[in-house]
Amino acid sequence: MSCGELPVSLSGNAKDTTAKITYYIPDGIQDEGHPSPGAPFEGGVFEAYLPLSARGKGFLPRLERAFRLGLTFTVSMGNSTGDRLAKAVWHKIPHKTKMEGGKSGNGYPDSSYLSRLSEALKAHGIEDVP
């Protein structure tokens, strides 16, 4: 997981710059709890965006903790016919993967996203830092 700052604002967050979070998941071998333990899976590069408001900045260490605990991604079998290789996919922690497109397009603006993110993290024992 790495994080960089973009000098642009997300819609609905005009005063703040943007965090671009990049997750690199290397190809690997499935563990217990995955569809086919011992079989290979395809990793990938995943990107997400977060406003760097005071509240948004507070999520970065929590997202890093969720990633280290294995909550951010899982392995899933492909949905396409003939797609037999399992792949890393987003899992229990919601991320915004687009800078635009609104809530329905997994982007911004989405006024309830940070609240939903907070609740998902809390549900997995990752509380706000005082």
For residue range 8-17, what is the model confidence (pLDDT) as tens digits?
999 999 999 9
What CATH architecture does domain 2-123 belong to? Answer: 2-Layer Sandwich (3.30)
pLDDT in the model for residue 82:
58
Examine the pLDDT at 27 and tell me if it is beyond 80.
yes
Q: How confident is the model at residue 85 (pLDDT cuts 50, 70, 90)?
A: confident
Contacts with 5 (C-beta within 8 Å, 6 or more apart), sequence order? 17, 18, 19, 20, 52
